[in-house]
A and B are shown apart, each in its own frame.
Chain A
């Protein structure tokens, strides 16, 4: 925690090295979260890059005593939700067609390389309602508390816990056979 505050303090003082350290420290966690939420690698890469660029431009305003990971995780979740909302306006096809498809093809310029488990996880998460997926992602991968997620989703803690339970039940049935018992 002290190391993180020191990083923020140095970053706010203009240290490029601190920004590099923040980037290296969190980029993989954010990519993993973004892949889980977006269900698609290219969107996840764009979102995480956008979050870091935006942070580099405006992050000086961050509270030095604040939780940097929570801040970045929330930025990722918000951006993905905004992208979904924008694309939902143009959504015209049915459920089956609209369901996100995981892109497994690796391009030369692809930034994030997923292991088999993350591919399976993303495919399974893509099949559960987004709000439930977001709760699971933020709780399990973003390390946020239910209270913090409730603030993000503007819902009660009971609702969030309900979404978590529903989502986990569906996730378990979708991952059936891949889970260790």
Chain B
């Protein structure tokens, strides 16, 4: 007997029958839908129309001409649809670049000024010097006051490889900050991921894009590719609705991304341009003053490099309160193993409870259950996708920084990780370990962190982060790359 035969027999025996009353109701609804279908032309009428058309010799000739044109069009389209590059290589080229420059505009099509005029776009000019961990990028924010006035604020962040400066357009101030080498590298990694997700779709969707044209930009010829994404909504008869459209200009010979646009569909189903990055350069040498930490003219520096504000590792966090308690929790960093497992440091506490959390960590074993913190991050799911894979968490170790206890866990997937995690990361699945479950829901995201594939990677990223999040500055000695990889393998194949 073949291994699947027993299940096959069971599935064959599993059966459903239809309640006759409900069955008739559904069938009537289906038949009625057919009657109301807009292009439900009766066979008799349709065939008569064809006969009339074909009886006229001129019409017959015209129909033949249309057929020829269609055939030629298909041939031309087919020829143009064979690019000299692989779309799948796009991400690799981006990841392997040692410097990136993206310049363009961000629009705000979903909002208008009170007088109905458009909100002026914001200029975006992002530089990432991956090798030297220097960067310059712009955050944008939109706010509306009680009178409906809309204002756009921008915050530019510049890092020269040692210090970081944030330039706030609303307050016209600049603040120097001090970040560790590890944090700077992580920030560079995050910025690369974020930039990519603004520019382009994941490889799954990239494969579904279609070539819609060709254009010459300066001296280069570019193929224009387009792909729609977003939720398909609507039930019976409802047209699928997509919410986002990416248009990508790829060099006809090189396959390099030269321009990218993101469009959003508004409530009236019109496409509105949201981002237009007209300059996308790889490995271009930044000008000497690109990462200069000087406040722009008219801005006030709130401090100096000497008094720069020390900034630690941060991540995604949430808090909620109930009955005099305030629970806070967050995932600080995430790192990715080659098998898709995720190592993260997370915390959870009740701010109104001054007792130490140390007893909650007593007796925990490597690879065992997680500590029963107030909000327990027991598993992860890929963010923004219906993938069925779930990452279950196992305890690795813990550290303590000031009064905060940080749990370090590895989350092992039970299926294939979707490629979307590279852009969207993971959503935390949590449970409250409280006598009374608060009436709150929280949302915490774990980022897609740097890939850890060796002892050296592990020591640099994971132990580096553990050390930073420890009062002593020294990571625990009982966790090694090999132990974690072995644990993940064991949990995947119990």
Contact = CB atoms under 8 A, between A and B. Distances in A.
Contact of A168 (B3, B18, B233, B381): B3
A109 B30 contact: no
A16 B25 CA distance: 16
B387 interface: yes
Contact of B415 (A85, A86, A132, A168): A132
A1 interface: no
Contact of A115 (B15, B236, B414): B15
B7 A168 contact: yes
A113 B31 CA distance: 23
A57 B3 contact: no
Interface in B359-411: 378-379, 381, 384-390
Interface in B414-472: 414-416, 427, 429-431, 441-443
B19 interface: yes
A155 B19 contact: no
A121 B10 contact: yes
Interface string A143-181: 000000000001100010011001010011001001111
B30 A53 contact: yes
A154 B204 contact: yes
Contacts of B427: 91
A66 interface: no
Contacts of A140: 7-8, 11
A168 B86 CA distance: 35
Given A113-B17, A179-B7, A49 B41 contact: no
A31 B389 CA distance: 25
A160 to B, nearest CB: 10
B43 interface: yes
B16 A114 contact: yes
Contact of B16 (A35, A92, A96): A35
Nearest to A22: B30
A52 B26 contact: yes
A130 B7 contact: no
Interface in B222-252: 231-233, 235-238
Interface in B1-44: 3-4, 6-11, 13-19, 21-23, 25-27, 29-31, 33-43
B16 A31 contact: yes
Interface residues of B, number: 67
B30 A23 contact: yes
Contacts of A131: 387-389, 415-416
A110 B388 contact: no
Contacts, number: 190
Contacts of A89: 384
B18 A28 contact: yes
A52 B29 CA distance: 9
B447 to A, nearest CB: 19
B8 A56 contact: no
Interface residues on A, range: 35 or more
A129 B415 contact: yes
Contacts of B443: 92
Interface string A77-96: 01001101110110110111
Interface in A103-117: 109-115, 117
B207 A49 contact: no
B39 A130 contact: no
A85 B8 CA distance: 29
Given A131-B389, A140-B11, A180-B6, A50 B16 contact: no
Contacts of A110: 19, 22
Interface in A31-50: 31-32, 35-36, 46, 49-50
Contacts of B27: 20, 23-24
Given A19-B31, A52-B30, A163-B415, A112 B386 contact: no
B46 interface: yes
B233 A118 contact: no
Contact of A46 (B43, B235, B430): B235
Contacts of A57: 33-34, 36-38, 236-237
A51 B434 CA distance: 44
A15 B17 contact: no
A43 to B, nearest CB: 12
Given A57-B36, A110-B19, A112-B18, A132 B236 contact: no
A32 B14 contact: yes
B244 to A, nearest CB: 14
A32 B18 CA distance: 11
Nearest to A134: B388
A49 B232 CA distance: 17
B237 A133 contact: no
A113 B379 contact: no
A172 B386 contact: no
Given A110-B22, A172-B6, A180-B9, A118 B37 contact: no
B329 to A, nearest CB: 14
B16 A130 contact: no
B386 A85 contact: yes
Contacts of B14: 32, 36, 114-115, 117-118, 120-121
B15 A50 contact: no
Interface of B: 3-4, 6-11, 13-19, 21-23, 25-27, 29-31, 33-43, 46-47, 204, 207-208, 231-233, 235-238, 378-379, 381, 384-390, 414-416, 427, 429-431, 441-443
15 contacts: A27-B26, A28-B15, A49-B236, A50-B236, A57-B34, A88-B386, A89-B384, A91-B427, A96-B431, A115-B16, A117-B13, A128-B388, A131-B387, A132-B415, A180-B6
Interface of A: 13-16, 19-20, 23-24, 27-28, 31-32, 35-36, 46, 49-50, 52-58, 60, 78, 81-82, 84-86, 88-89, 91-92, 94-96, 98, 109-115, 117-118, 120-121, 128-134, 140-141, 154-155, 159, 162-163, 166, 168, 171-172, 175, 178-181
The 9 A-B residue pairs whose C-beta atoms are closest, nearest first, are A130-B388, A13-B43, A129-B388, A92-B441, A53-B236, A118-B14, A111-B22, A85-B386, A56-B34
